[in-house]
Amino acid sequence: MAIDEIEISRAIIDRYHEKLITNLETDVAIVGGGPSGLVAGYFLARAGKKVALYERKLSIGGGMWGGGMLFNEIVLQSEALPILDAFGIRYRRYRDDYYTADGVEAVGSMTAVAARAGLTIFNCVTVEDVMMKPDRVEGLVINWAPVEMAGLHVDPLTVRARFVIDATGHDTDVVRVVEEKTPGRLNTPTGGIMGQKAMWADRAESDTTQNTREIFPGLYVAGMAANAAAGGPRMGPIFGGMLLSGEKVARELLERL
Ligand code: 48F
């Protein structure tokens, strides 16, 4: 049978449309496809929840591809190894409590395993705002990332979620929007975004999980965004805290869903 170009187009449009429609209302919407967002998405989807993840870039993985300074190896501590095992990511002990994994293998494995568990990933979609009614985050306002990049005046669409996770890393994009609209009301010591502090890997790793929490009704924060919101330090290319943060936010949400 000859391959028909229009049938190819129809297959793509039909299937993507199906994904969009199915995910107009979800249990959880995750913003950001870095390590913390992917881990959260995996554990929630594995537990049978309906979860969609929105990533602004074409590629999923956030800061994990490039390891440190483009040396594509990541460092983890033993506490995070069970999460690597859950994704089938191989690692090697370097010495003491330092383990390494290939950054590219890590992103590839996490993406594949999370998707197979049922996480729906929308890449090239940017989250530009939230839906709030009146004092609780109830969903996201989304648009194509190229629309944002080109500065086109195109109205967005909206998706509803019982809970939203801001896993946007250093950007804290979703928390920032909420802070602008409801100043002083975030669940941080000052009520606002406190900003990421200078590098202090040891402190930052424990702070990341501690700062993973519901930061505003309906909105959780995970990964580097949790530290940036609560004034925690940065940690550089050690990733255990990111993975543990993703697991923690999934665990807390599973208690409420
Ligand atoms: O930065 P990122 O990898 O977040 P993370 O899970 O992990 C942080 C580490 O990579 C690293 C670190 C060492 O441990 O500190 O930085 O906290 O991934 C965040 C993702 O969110 C996307 C962004 O493109 C990136 O892939 N993102 C940011 N803002 C938006 C967004 C937005 N408004 N809409 C959609 N995606």
Q: List pLDDT tens digits, range 190-212.
A: 999 999 999 999 999 999 999 99
The CA distance from 225 to 204, in Å, is: 12
pLDDT for position 159? 98
Write out the two tokens for 9: 């187009």
Residue partners of 185: CB distance under 8 A and separation at least 6:
179, 191, 216
Q: Write out the H or E segment, with its range, that includes residue 159.
A: strand 157-166
The residue contributing the CA closest to ligand 1 atom 14 is 239
pLDDT for position 96? 96
CA 24 to chain centre: 18
Would you say the CB of residue 166 lies under 6 angstroms from ligand 1? no
CA-derived radius of gyration, the chain: 18
The CA distance from 82 to 151, in Å, is: 43
The CA distance from 231 to 200, in Å, is: 12
Phi and psi at 182, nearest 5°, equal -135, 70
pLDDT for position 127? 98
Would you say the CB of residue 52 lies under 6 angstroms from ligand 1? no
Sign of CA pseudo-dihedral 3, 6, 9, 11: negative
Residue pair 122/17 in contact (Cβ under 8 Å)? The answer is no
Would you say the CB of residue 103 lies under 6 angstroms from ligand 1? no
Residue type, position 230, single letter: A
Would you say the CB of residue 169 lies under 6 angstroms from ligand 1? yes
pLDDT for position 177? 97
The CA distance from 183 to 176, in Å, is: 10
The answer to whether the pTM exceeds 0.75 is yes
Ramachandran region, residue 54 (left: φ > 0; alpha: ψ -120 to 50; beta: rest): beta
The residue contributing the CA closest to ligand 1 atom 25 is 62
Low pLDDT (below 70) residues in the chain: none
The CA distance from 236 to 38, in Å, is: 19
Sequence-ordered alpha helix ranges (H) in 68-210: 81-87, 103-117, 145-150, 173-181, 201-210
Residue partners of 171: CB distance under 8 A and separation at least 6:
225, 228
Residue 128 pairs in a beta bridge with none
Residue pair 157/143 in contact (Cβ under 8 Å)? The answer is yes
Tell me how far apart the terminal alpha carbons of the chain are, to the nearest angstrom: 48
Residue partners of 157: CB distance under 8 A and separation at least 6:
141, 142, 143
Residue pair 243/76 in contact (Cβ under 8 Å)? The answer is yes
Ligand 1 centroid to residue 87 C-alpha, Å: 19
pLDDT for position 165? 98
Would you say the CB of residue 218 lies under 6 angstroms from ligand 1? no
Label the pairing between strands 197-199 and 233-234. Answer: parallel
